Chain A
């Protein structure tokens, strides 16, 4: 989490396009890798990445800066965009269609040594609010307190929710058949 990030963000909010470009440069690959975990094709992950940054700008008045960084907010937004890909990219469809998608020889699975394929699959089956929390705390190493701040919940509630999400993940990772989200064993 750099102070450069906060400075670039403040400058971007004041209309400095190149500063927003620096925010994009700093976080684009983290956002893209997170998107890859949540959708089925590389092209979809690219669209999710684009929509997340477009949302970052459109909703700049709502962005929560945590430890001087916009990354936690971006990752939560990425989760939300990926969860409802069609609806959330509708706003930006014309732009997304204009961006150059390279024909990808690689399957998303080829990329996914950033986390295990099993965890990726289990993540997709978690409720949205749990994906947000697990992504921040377990995958992206954001502190529980900071994750609670960006999600707008108390640290206590975040702790309880993370504990339950871990249990659910553990169950899914060790279960031969997926446990439906919200299901009990």
Chain B
């Protein structure tokens, strides 16, 4: 007989694995795009702007400064690039990757993040450097050829503002590419966003948590997270965007997948979505 994994065991294990993956923090390149089409969190996931000398002014924003011309190379397979002497003050690098031939290239930090997986595809983002680090390893399928550009940066996150009511406001604290634990200490009372009407403003952290968790408190188990995800297909979650005073509303922010058919508000009322918004 051909041995196969016992069905009840396999089914229970599969459920566990799916729940773990679903509940895990998302890597930088996927964590934010669920918000695209509905409004964007300021600062995170907008890697394309990294070539600019300064990223996202404002409280909690990043000042990213190029310190040296980038090292460029065309590589095949997994390779380590020597970045040269590390300039004074460098604590990050800007990495841009373009696949020349089909296949996958990964930038590995806390988790593997796909840099490109098709010929001609490009991505770029700043990444933190470890103390003393002067090389960067790119992981790639054997035989895949790709171009990289890696340049030293100084990246400093600015302090949050505080409004008249004592509420902190600004961008979430994180590593420069948006990784990092999303602990309460890293999230200001009012989180910087761009509203669906393109106005910049702030949402209350509690409102954001409600919206990101599919209209409720944080799930307490992977099973609950899965059940809620299944029940919430086709829904988006709208929360108010205010000035930094936390009172004057300037627009709304919608958390959803861009294909949402129904937008749900915190008071329970709903409206049909237009283009996911």
Contact = CB atoms under 8 A, between A and B. Distances in A.
B15 to A, nearest CB: 9
A54 interface: yes
B112 A13 contact: yes
A53 B4 contact: no
A53 B9 contact: no
A46 B112 contact: no
Contacts of A17: 17-22, 226
A66 B24 CA distance: 25
A96 B110 CA distance: 26
B16 interface: yes
Contact of B13 (A14, A16, A50, A65): A50
B82 interface: no
B227 to A, nearest CB: 13
Contacts, number: 111
Interface residues of A, number: 48
A110 B4 CA distance: 12
A68 B2 CA distance: 26
Interface in A129-167: 146, 149
The number of chain B residues touching the other chain, given as a range, is 35 or more
B267 interface: no
B233 interface: no
A95 B16 contact: yes
Contacts of B96: none
Interface of A: 6, 10, 12-21, 24-25, 28-29, 32-33, 36, 42, 46, 49-50, 53-54, 57, 60-66, 68, 95, 98-102, 104, 110-114, 146, 149
15 contacts: A6-B117, A15-B26, A15-B30, A17-B226, A19-B21, A29-B5, A46-B9, A49-B13, A61-B108, A98-B12, A101-B9, A104-B6, A111-B1, A112-B3, A114-B3
Interface of B: 1-6, 8-10, 12-14, 16-22, 24, 26-27, 29-30, 104, 108-114, 117, 139, 141-142, 226
